[in-house]
Amino acid sequence: MARAYNFSPGPAMLPEPVLRQAQAELLEYRDAGASIVELSHRGPEFLEVAQRTEADLRRLLAIPDDYAVLFTAGGATTVQALLPLNFAAPGQAADYVLTGHWGKTAYLQAQPACAARIAASSEADGFTRLPPRAEWALAADAAYVHITANETIHGVEFPEVPEVGTVPLVADFSSSIASAPLDVRRFGLIYAGAQKNLGPVGIAVVIVRRDLLERAGQPRAPILDYRVQLAAESMLNTPPSWNWYMLGLTVRWMLDEGGVEAFAARNARKAARLYAAIDGSGGFYRNPVAPEARSRMNVPFFLHDPRLDAPFLEGARAAGLIGLKGHRVLGGMRASIYNAMPEAGVEALVDYLQEFQRRHG
């Protein structure tokens, strides 16, 4: 079977040039006599990979110098657990805005280590909209305000960065980082697991304003301490070197393709095409999210009759379209259309949606 268009939410499709380069360098990295994954992380080859990756990521996302960049293991969920330990004093409040599954996860991960508060939530509406900013109950003495920039499961995205005053804004960008230009200065901290839009699973990126690292936080082991991690250049222990290398290739590919501006334009076209097909199906397909809050990255949709789900997925697979089954908490379908998904993939999906409807409508 040829490579399919993979709409999987994460681990997700990677750019083919990235996979080809990794394949070409797998047995021997440059003239090192071994694969990059077999070399010491303290050796010159890997240190060059690490430094180049950070420099490229800084260029891609226009990260200012007063922000540190950390590369961490344990995924986005571990970052969620470490946020209060590093940035909230014992018993200090931290405000969480819940717009879907991952905001709720962040809140639950923080609860044992701070006075996590739900400042706003759209759960009563099934996470199909954003809670209006005027209704957020923010505490002036909170350690930070946490939002999920893009909710990967519910398909809800902030169209712009909300204003939260002087309390640092912390944002989970796992599924939308590098999908469009971003003003890093609006945030105290940005984090992202790599496996949606930045590379393979096994590594996460934390971009943090350096002054926040001066906060005492709470008693924690050195390995859980972002100050210690930064001093050790994210190598206090053996880092996930293969994942870091793959992330580096992916970031380089994004720069070669024209950077975040180019992807923003492509992603807007892809999302518009797919939502138009769903909305134009006369109810055969349905996306429940309020139009102004719809994600450009993850498009959940439902067939009008769930008995059609199995034949829909079977036919999709036969048409070379995989990874469309929805998350178990929602059911239905979901098409994840990250940077690595070409416009031709979305065209193929739209063609399939229309063909399936003709046969079953």
Ligand X SMILES: *Cc1c(COP(=O)(O)O)cnc(C)c1O
Binding site for ligand X (CB under 6 A): 10, 75-77, 102, 148, 152, 172, 174-175, 193, 196
The single residue of 56, 172, 225, 244 carrying the catalytic annotation is 172
325 is catalytic: no
Tell me how crowded residue 27 is: count the other CB atoms within 10 A of its CB: 9
102 is catalytic: yes
In the bound complex, what is the minimum distance in angstroms from residue 192's beta carbon to ligand X? 8
- Grouping H, G, I as helix, E, B as strand and the rest as coil, residue 353 is helix
**Closer CB to ligand X, 172 or 225, in the complex:** 172
The strand ranges marked E within the chain are 5-6, 67-72, 93-98, 115-121, 145-148, 150-151, 156-157, 169-172, 189-193, 204-209, 285-286, 298-303, 321-322, 333-336
Please state, in angstroms and as integers, the Cα–Cα distance from residue 271 to each residue in 155, 241, 254, 296, 349, following that order: 11, 33, 19, 5, 12
Please state, in angstroms and as integers, the Cα–Cα distance from residue 8 to each residue in 13, 54, 73, 179, 340, following that order: 7, 27, 22, 16, 11
**Closer CB to ligand X, 152 or 250, in the complex:** 152
Find the residue with minimal CB distance to ligand X: 75
The single residue of 102, 225, 253, 270 carrying the catalytic annotation is 102
The single residue of 196, 225, 253, 325 carrying the catalytic annotation is 196
**Closer CB to ligand X, 180 or 348, in the complex:** 180
In the bound complex, what is the minimum distance in angstroms from residue 57's beta carbon to ligand X? 17
**Closer CB to ligand X, 87 or 312, in the complex:** 87
In the bound complex, what is the minimum distance in angstroms from residue 139's beta carbon to ligand X? 23
In the bound complex, what is the minimum distance in angstroms from residue 3's beta carbon to ligand X? 23
d(CA 99, CA 150): 9
Element (H, E) at 108: helix 101-110
- Would you name the residues annotated as active-site residues? 102, 172, 196
